[in-house]
Structure 1
């Protein structure tokens, strides 16, 4: 019988090759400390050129696996990126075999997604009437949440646009996902009011003044975006204070909890950072950050299921449901978001929670907070300086506080690049009070205290080496 053109020429050869690939993948994940980020070779684009052919499995092992983004390494803290879990291997293999479209219809992925959403709903303190949909990440979840707010505010928005005079409020420094969302919804970013922060959180008095001024100008406040875990410093808005204000004003409260919402699982005092999140109308969060699962996997969580569905549901004839058969089943998640074609994201979360248990995630999140505090102690003990107090899992500091601001900025930036290029540690940088600082965002379950100590010594050594060339 002739071989089908899109099937392996020999399934047994493929089975043997995949066993070798699986062994290589397990080794690389187990020995993540031996596989830091490395600069891709200059000819890598040529190697990846379509049509170059050859043994694909061997090429993946030799030309793909080595050139990852670095976030699997225990000293990767440069951006808020999760570290990946062994359970992702299980989920990835099963998802590839099933090739399930999670947009709707009657099959297992819908029940699994419901289970993941329900678990998260309970962890965030939402009631049984809450709704949700798994998405690529918080950027997409923010669009979904604010669209739900928009339709609640203007019930005809899906018909005629309904955008005139709607305003959104957030603290200065809010993640760019909020600006993108208001632009994508047609509000325009000039309708996003960036309210001053006070002690790292949104100033409630200034927020109230902005709302009063907009109402007096004939505008309609649509939503307030609170932050649980700010991108630069890991700070938390007063979520109970925001909930009190939004309840009094009749405004939607959305919480950007991309990574910081997960302190809900942590021990005290960090768990208390998210007090009040249960009073939000919507939350955007990621599993691929501080729940460590593989990319991509985020969630839009909405307190009111009816409002959520009203913002997105549309069933043309080719998506008509049925009482039974494959066209049956509820919910169809295409009714709750942007995508009709959707991968099996729920499987990654389900496998992770079933393999390791909720308590393991709580312990890892708590440990990351302790490690950020430990890093802060190391910074100060080694003659460096914090740019701000450590609140959760982010530590921002300057290596040479005795230098003028411009020289500190130049030195810190060079330290970050040097350590990355020499496979030591991955920090990012951010600007605080006019100084470019080193930033560590610890969402890495592989990090241990000795990694922090090694990194701090590397910063001191590199600063000493580079100071002579900073002018």
Structure 2
């Protein structure tokens, strides 16, 4: 009878050699990202990944490394490539490799207790708070992304609005929330998940591209007269379709006057706080929010998944989630110390160390490097817009505000023909590995869309991509 664990390598020296080979393969993949665009997934890939039902033993490490090299690394989602602009997805960083190695070795659970990873998360939260201009003492917790952060923020707002909600539920209270038309679908899903209902989301009309304050006040008055309890106002810092920003200072004034919780969806746009002008001022007022959702895995480029919710009122944040059964009681000293515990600020008790990716990135590159990269992404979007306007047949679908450019390849065609052509060009350039644009609709017409959150994108990439669009637009008609 052996006391040796069968899940540890039998020979650590052999495993070490194969782990080094895996590290080399991963670094080669990152270093060669420019030569690895997205490619269509082979039809038999699922079979290559299949786990045999009768497998009594696993693969030797060297065979596993080879399988990953051949069948895993080549079939990525494309977002590491410098001409991937289809959706707001980050590129990943070399520093993520360092973070993953350290995080894997420690295998920390950041739900609570007294160990170093919790201190790291607190420091990264505090750095983010300062960047966003939220006051000292604001609270936060790392989450999977803005969608989860939105649920946590809305729940805190709901608990604050209805006394005894955690034990009695809404008890027939009809809550209403308000956001500009075009707000991210995460808002709707969060309201549905919490039982508030998406029918109780009021879409505020726009005036000059921003929520109309007069219309909002009228909506609030009507809902209150109808017996509803308005509790939440949602602002957007960086809309999905065109990269637009609400006037956050105006929304903050309204929220204060109307006693509403102000939540800001800053999934990617919050990071304009690091950019040069004129882009930095787009997010002015963001620090006045009661809650802010943002992602590091978008415009801070770190690996998935890595999101954060910040809340101005630590007591309101904790009141929404804190719960300690007997087996989770804290202590003054020992491993059960280290208060406060992050499990009291969200729904997860088991939590990995997401903050280490941000910490490693800031340690390795410094804040200024991210400011430069974010600014450059905005400059590349502006360049793309200028190239579109220089092409006689092309036209912008909306002004280039931040890092998103929406355009048509042939403005001389009717709406249906434009829609067909733009969708065809997006598909063709994706399949060929030339560039990844996505599509969106404005005024009923399908347009090409580039959302640049890619630190590898250069001016030459933008020029080459527009040239490819122009060629396809000519060849397809």
TM-score, normalised to structure 2, is: 0.96
Matching of residue 322 in structure 1 with residue 331 in structure 2? yes
CA positional deviation for 1:3: 5.3
User: How far apart in 2 are the matches of 1:215 and 1:7?
Assistant: 63
Task: Give 2:152's aligned residue.
Answer: 144
Task: Give 2:123's aligned residue.
Answer: 115
Matching residue within 426, 430, 436 for 1:426: 436
3-state SS, counterpart of residue 391 of structure 1: coil
User: How far apart in 2 are the matches of 1:419 and 1:249?
Assistant: 49
**Conserved 8 A contact 2:330-2:337:** yes
User: How far apart in 2 are the matches of 1:155 and 1:333?
Assistant: 23
Task: Give 2:340's aligned residue.
Answer: 331
Matching of residue 35 in structure 1 with residue 36 in structure 2? yes
Task: Give 1:202's aligned residue.
Answer: 211
Task: Give 1:301's aligned residue.
Answer: 310
3-state SS, counterpart of residue 13 of structure 1: helix
Of residues 119-128 and 45-54 in structure 1, the stretch that sits farther from structure 2 once superposed is 45-54
User: How far apart in 2 are the matches of 1:402 and 1:38?
Assistant: 32
3-state SS, counterpart of residue 221 of structure 1: strand
Task: Give 2:387's aligned residue.
Answer: 378
CA positional deviation for 1:194: 1.2
Task: Give 1:12's aligned residue.
Answer: 13
User: How far apart in 1 are the matches of 2:15 and 2:476?
Assistant: 51
Matching residue within 189, 192, 196 for 2:198: 189
* Equivalence map 1:7-406=2 (5 Å): 7-51=8-52, 54=59, 55-162=63-170, 164-383=173-392, 384-406=394-416
Cα deviation code 1:350-389 (max 9, x no counterpart): 0000000000000100110011000000111122100000
Cα deviation code 1:142-168 (max 9, x no counterpart): 000110100111121101112621101
Cα deviation code 1:239-296 (max 9, x no counterpart): 0110111110110000000000000110111110011111110100000000000000
Structure 1 unmatched runs, 5+: none
3-state SS, counterpart of residue 476 of structure 2: helix
**Conserved 8 A contact 1:167-1:222:** yes
User: How far apart in 2 are the matches of 1:385 and 1:367?
Assistant: 23
User: How far apart in 1 are the matches of 2:41 and 2:10?
Assistant: 32
Cα deviation code 1:70-123 (max 9, x no counterpart): 000000000000010011000011111111111000001110000010000001
Of residues 126-135 and 191-200 in structure 1, the stretch that sits farther from structure 2 once superposed is 191-200
**Conserved 8 A contact 1:110-1:331:** no
User: How far apart in 2 are the matches of 1:197 and 1:57?
Assistant: 54
3-state SS, counterpart of residue 18 of structure 1: helix
CA positional deviation for 1:4: 2.8
3-state SS, counterpart of residue 407 of structure 2: strand
User: How far apart in 2 are the matches of 1:5 and 1:416?
Assistant: 50
3-state SS, counterpart of residue 311 of structure 1: helix
CA positional deviation for 1:213: 0.8
Change (3 A) 1:2 1:334: closer
User: How far apart in 1 are the matches of 2:9 and 2:423?
Assistant: 49
Task: Give 2:447's aligned residue.
Answer: 437
User: How far apart in 2 are the matches of 1:197 and 1:28?
Assistant: 45
CA positional deviation for 1:9: 2.9
CA positional deviation for 1:197: 2.2
User: How far apart in 2 are the matches of 1:331 and 1:465?
Assistant: 62
User: How far apart in 2 are the matches of 1:200 and 1:342?
Assistant: 39
Cα deviation code 1:13-58 (max 9, x no counterpart): 2111111111111111112100111111111101111137542111
User: How far apart in 2 are the matches of 1:9 and 1:65?
Assistant: 27
User: How far apart in 1 are the matches of 2:350 and 2:210?
Assistant: 38
RMSD, matched Cα: 1.1
**Conserved 8 A contact 2:330-2:339:** no
3-state SS, counterpart of residue 376 of structure 2: helix
User: How far apart in 2 are the matches of 1:201 and 1:64?
Assistant: 44
Of residues 447-456 and 198-207 in structure 1, the stretch that sits farther from structure 2 once superposed is 198-207
3-state SS, counterpart of residue 77 of structure 1: coil
User: How far apart in 1 are the matches of 2:408 and 2:137?
Assistant: 47
User: How far apart in 2 are the matches of 1:4 and 1:302?
Assistant: 44
User: How far apart in 1 are the matches of 2:232 and 2:221?
Assistant: 14
TM-score, normalised to structure 1, is: 0.98
- Between the two proteins, the alignment pairs up a number of residues equal to 467
